[in-house]
Amino acid sequence: MMSSYLYIVRNRVREQRVQRGLSQAELAGALDVSRQTVISIESGRYLPSLPLAFRISRFFGMTVDKMFDPDDEVTGA
Amino acid sequence: MKRLSRGHLQVPAVMLVLGTGLAAAVLVGQGWRAAIPVEIVAVIATLGYLLLGVLDTDIGAIYGSRTDERQQMIRLRAQALTAEITALAVVIGYMVQVARRAPTWPFAIIALVAAVSFVAGVAIYRAHDI
């Protein structure tokens, strides 16, 4: 059954991008997604698909569970 | 601003062809005075679609046929909403026609096509498990 909850899983995309001195557009180009999607992922509004989550994690040399921490999951109506 | 791609040109090309086809139908049925505004609207709509497609926004990506996974989801949801509202409009149109004792068959055909499309969609896409 589909949950009526909104899931926002916090991630380290913005932190890692800033550390590497990349712009959102540059990261978007490297991941082959739009700049708007990078913005949505960074803000936690959009949960990427599993393949994209792996692409992001590999790009930053991290594991998926380090990049997207399920313990930081926020739920709400 | 984004560059035009081949995929970006397909939908506007279809819009222009269908709009011109509609203008031709109006020309045959009602003459050139009625057909010219239809063709003008078709050309303006096509140009508008092309211009929106080069914007560096979600709408630009959708109109420009260069969506990523998130924008595909947005487009799917928008299409689902469009279909639901269209179905509601068809039902309301059908009821109005019944009340007016006017022909209901155009609305009945659209409702039938929508129902068959939905069943076909479920049959096709459940096999793909997307």
Amino acid letter at B102?
A
Whether B70 and A40 lie within 8 Å, measured CB to CB: yes
Q: Nearest residue on chain B to A53, judged by CA atoms?
A: B69
Q: Is A30 on the interface with B (CB under 8 A)?
A: no
Q: How many domains does chain B fold into? A: 2
Query: Which among B50, B66, B82 is the end of a domain?
Result: B66
Residues B94 and B128 in one domain: yes
Range of the domain at B75: 69-130
Interface predicted TM-score of the whole assembly (ipTM), two decimals:
0.82
Beta strand ranges found along chain A (DSSP E): 6-8, 74-76
Residues B4 and B48 in one domain: yes
8-state DSSP, A47: P
Query: Which among B49, B66, B83 is the end of a domain?
Result: B66
8-state DSSP, B40: H
Residues B30 and B88 in one domain: no
B84-111 pLDDT, tens digit per residue, is 999 999 999 999 999 999 999 999 999 9
pLDDT for B1? 66
Whether A46 and B70 lie within 8 Å, measured CB to CB: yes
| Residues from chain A contacting residue B56 (CB–CB below 8 Å) | 35
Residues B57 and B108 in one domain: no
| Residues from chain A contacting residue B64 (CB–CB below 8 Å) | none
Tell me the pLDDT band of B10, cut-offs 50, 70 and 90: confident
B12-64 pLDDT, tens digit per residue, is 999 999 999 999 999 999 999 999 999 999 999 999 999 999 899 999 999 98
Tell me the pLDDT band of A2, cut-offs 50, 70 and 90: very low
Residues B56 and B100 in one domain: no
